[in-house]
Structure 1
Amino acid sequence: MTRSIIIVLDSVGIGEMPDAGKYGDVGSHTLGNIAKYIGGLELPNLAKLGLGNIDKIQGVQAQAEPIGSYGKMAEASLGKDTTSGHWEIAGVILDKALPTFPQGFPQEFIRRYEQAIGRGVIGNEVASGTEIIQRLGEEHVRTGKPIVYTSADSVFQVAAHEDVIPLQELMRFCRLARELLTDELQVGRVIARPFLGQAGQFYRTPNRHDFALEPPGKTLLDYITDHGLAVNAVGKIRDIYAGRGITDFIPTKNNMEGVDKTLEYMTTTSGGLIMANLVDFDMVYGHRNNVQGYAEALQAFDQRLPELLSRLRPDDLLIITADHGCDPTTQGTDHTREYVPLLAYGHKIKNGVNLGVRSTFADLGATVAEYLEVEPLSVGTSFWPEIRKD
């Protein structure tokens, strides 16, 4: 049975889009700027697929004969959010950006939320998640008030010490927020951000959970499951699509576990879609401006890539991409409006096809739909005819 594997390298952008200025992201180039900063990235396996043929990345050589097909994709949706990026990959393009709250959430809403959870909150500002728990964590531990914050993305985040507000209670607080955030306040994700530690040494735990909106239209995942095929989700994919169109899922705590679980599905499943999100690039390194850590994470994934390629079956199509940028070399800590890389590989795939600049991430979803012979997406242009071996 035919099978496709999509691996989303969360936030691994490949250069500013033409409208980056509207988002304050001129000069952003997650891969390129990281490479310059550290004096060159060593990504030999991604280079073999054609990564260096997409754009100039110091240390990543363009190949005369790459073994994969390559290109980059522009985001047609407004915004630079995880939710909109993943939805667009699966065929849902947003013509209106999900709401953001650069001044924090309206006080009227905060009062309603406090009443719903039965306690006050602190924060309600735009902040880095790691910074705000250091700054407000001690007050939270003393008062029991959860920390509420947001970012440049469409998110409502609730941070709490696991010894002060148990995980089950934190998840209840987040579900209540999801129910209350309606109409013009309907953010893409409500995120539980548990942490542990002592004053001055608080640290986030891997027990985060995203409570996402349901996609407003039918997605690639829905088309696949409607056709009777399996959709296996790795990492936060299930959260991003609000569980819809997914037949099985495995949560993960880091990139390497994400690779491990993807390999497990590649061993145990026979057809349909395996879709994985590797979140560390974004959550651990991009948002924390940790350039060296980001580079090391890229190189660690590259070292695991041969395992993924060796596990491919004759009827598999592997696609590696991203959902937005998060350039850690910039002053801010938010996502960046960038193109994302597009790498396709499989035994039935032509080598070295330049797929150019795709006008929407949905071209990826349209390609997978055609490859799996399910109902076509309503948007996107399949590049399967361009890469299919005769």
Structure 2
Amino acid sequence: MDSDRVILIVLDSVGVGALPDAAKYGDEGSNTLGNIAAAVNLKLPNLTRLGLGNIIPLRGIPPVGVPAAAWGKMASRTAGKDTTSGHWELAGLILERPFPLYPHGFPPEVIAPFAEAIGRQVLGNKPASGTVIIEELGTEHMRTGYPIVYTSADSVFQIAAHEEVIPVEELYRYCKIARKILTGEHAVGRVIARPFIGEPGHFIRTDRRQDFSLEPPQPTLLDAVTAAGLEVMAVGKIKDIFAGRGISRWIHTHDNMDGIDQTCNYMREGERGLIFTNLVDFDMRYGHRNDVAGYAAALEAFDRRLPELLAGLEGDDVLILTADHGCDPTTPSTDHSREYVPLLIYGQRIRPLNVGVRSTFADLGATVAELLGVPYRLHGKSFASMLLK
């Protein structure tokens, strides 16, 4: 019997240990969840009950004899460790080539047409932490009106601007211009608007960030679900990551708690299909800032809200918790880390068993499709038959 709904929640960057090829990415020894647990006295009773401690050894989070959920972990087959390719692989699309990276900034053939199109020069044009570069260049930005352009170890073209210097809608227009320029060999995964407010020495990024992703080059799970006549309800930056493809309804969110609220709202509506949520705070607010205590507090805040999500499940609903990559705040790097991602699957019809180590995130996409009774001809091997009672 098909499930009426699958609620798929991505705990952005909550990785569970370095992949075998992590050293190629400079990520040997990364273990976002494991290293946080080793550094902080984590209290995650609800996730523990589901089986979080059964996935990998975690200090203070013991394995349980009979978890409430099925558990396991997944490896990525896509080359890279970014948000877009991670989510696409979860949805059955494996990239053959990684997105381009710019460790020395963007070349003239990108920057020159961008500056000409917006009628302004740019500041920065280098890899940087977002909070650091606005402190470094924010004052000059306010004096000149030039936007701050920067990248990271991920395939991103980020544009930061003070909301009183370049209004947010104008910043979004700049991002759309950049998105049109960044094609072919320079087709970065995402162009990101990074608005901020405040005064020199006290700049604060606002929650009006917006991502302008490439459109997936091939169909994904989302297309399969909508083609079957079911709803895909996107919460957080899911709509941006998939460039709106295969999405019936969507809502942007302010933070993790708002993301949980909006997920619960969609659950109460009772529509058949897929609720796909990204909770970005783990990554954006804490992982990239090497804020171990903040990351731990965010995990505990999610754990406290987990009973609401479980209580909102009806009949044959299935709740899935996973991630898209790592971002270990205990390492010197402030970038994403190449890691396994956790897998917890809960529902009345779900057997509490170990689904093992899946060789690709796409196995989850195939499984979601089978749980929903949706035709699926993409990457991945479904393990739904293992799960169902």
**Candidates 12, 16, 19, aligned match of 1:17:** 19
Q: What is the aligned partner in structure 2 of residue 132 from structure 1?
A: 133
Note the C-alpha offset of 1:238. 0.2
* Partner secondary structure for residue 116 of structure 1: helix
Note the C-alpha offset of 1:61. 1.3
Q: What is the aligned partner in structure 2 of residue 257 from structure 1?
A: 258
Note the C-alpha offset of 1:269. 2.9
Note the C-alpha offset of 1:216. 1.1
* Partner secondary structure for residue 199 of structure 2: coil
Q: What is the aligned partner in structure 2 of residue 120 from structure 1?
A: 121
Question: Distance between the aligned counterparts of 2:377 and 2:130, measured in 1?
Answer: 36
Question: Distance between the aligned counterparts of 2:75 and 2:121, measured in 1?
Answer: 42
Note the C-alpha offset of 1:259. 0.3
Q: Is the 8 A contact 1:236 1:251 kept in 2?
A: yes
Q: Considering only aligned residues, what root-mean-square deviation do their CA atoms show, in Å?
A: 0.7
Find out whether 1:269 has 2:270 as its counterpart: yes
Note the C-alpha offset of 1:182. 1.1
* Partner secondary structure for residue 194 of structure 1: strand
Q: Please give the per-residue CA displacement for 1:230-289, whole angstroms capped at 9, x wherever unaligned.
A: 000000000000001000011101000000000000001321000000000000000000
Q: Is the 8 A contact 1:220 1:377 kept in 2?
A: no
* Partner secondary structure for residue 219 of structure 2: coil
Question: Distance between the aligned counterparts of 1:212 and 1:117, measured in 2?
Answer: 20
Question: Distance between the aligned counterparts of 2:101 and 2:120, measured in 1?
Answer: 24
* Partner secondary structure for residue 202 of structure 1: strand
Give 1:1-390 correspondences, 5 Å limit. 2-38=4-40, 40-351=41-352, 353-389=353-389
The range that moved more, 125-134 or 102-111, is: 102-111
Q: Please give the per-residue CA displacement for 1:72-124, whole angstroms capped at 9, x wherever unaligned.
A: 00001000000000000000001110111000000232111100100000000
Letter in 2 for 1:280: D
Query: Structure 1: which 4+ aligned runs deviate by more than 2 Å?
Result: none
The range that moved more, 265-274 or 338-347, is: 265-274
* Partner secondary structure for residue 77 of structure 1: coil
* Partner secondary structure for residue 215 of structure 1: coil
Note the C-alpha offset of 1:378. 1.9
Note the C-alpha offset of 1:41. 1.3
Note the C-alpha offset of 1:59. 1.1
Q: Is the 8 A contact 1:365 1:377 kept in 2?
A: no
Letter in 2 for 1:17: L
Q: Which consecutive unaligned segments of at least 5 residues does structure 2 have?
A: none
Note the C-alpha offset of 1:369. 0.3
Q: Is the 8 A contact 1:369 1:377 kept in 2?
A: no
Question: Distance between the aligned counterparts of 1:96 and 1:114, measured in 2?
Answer: 28
Note the C-alpha offset of 1:170. 0.4
Q: Please give the per-residue CA displacement for 1:285-308, whole angstroms capped at 9, x wherever unaligned.
A: 000000000000000000100110
Letter in 2 for 1:8: V
Letter in 2 for 1:227: A
* Partner secondary structure for residue 211 of structure 1: strand
TM-score, normalised via structure 1 length: 0.98
Q: Is the 8 A contact 1:148 1:157 kept in 2?
A: yes
Question: Distance between the aligned counterparts of 2:156 and 2:132, measured in 1?
Answer: 17
Report sequence identity in percent.
62
Question: Distance between the aligned counterparts of 2:58 and 2:136, measured in 1?
Answer: 37
* Partner secondary structure for residue 197 of structure 1: strand
Q: Is the 8 A contact 2:220 2:378 kept in 1?
A: no
Sort the Cα spacing of 1:377 and 1:304 in 2 relative to 1 into closer, same or farther, 3 A.
farther
Question: Distance between the aligned counterparts of 1:320 and 1:92, measured in 2?
Answer: 19
* Partner secondary structure for residue 299 of structure 1: helix
Question: Distance between the aligned counterparts of 1:60 and 1:262, measured in 2?
Answer: 26
Question: Distance between the aligned counterparts of 1:228 and 1:346, measured in 2?
Answer: 23
Letter in 2 for 1:29: N
Q: Is the 8 A contact 1:134 1:199 kept in 2?
A: yes
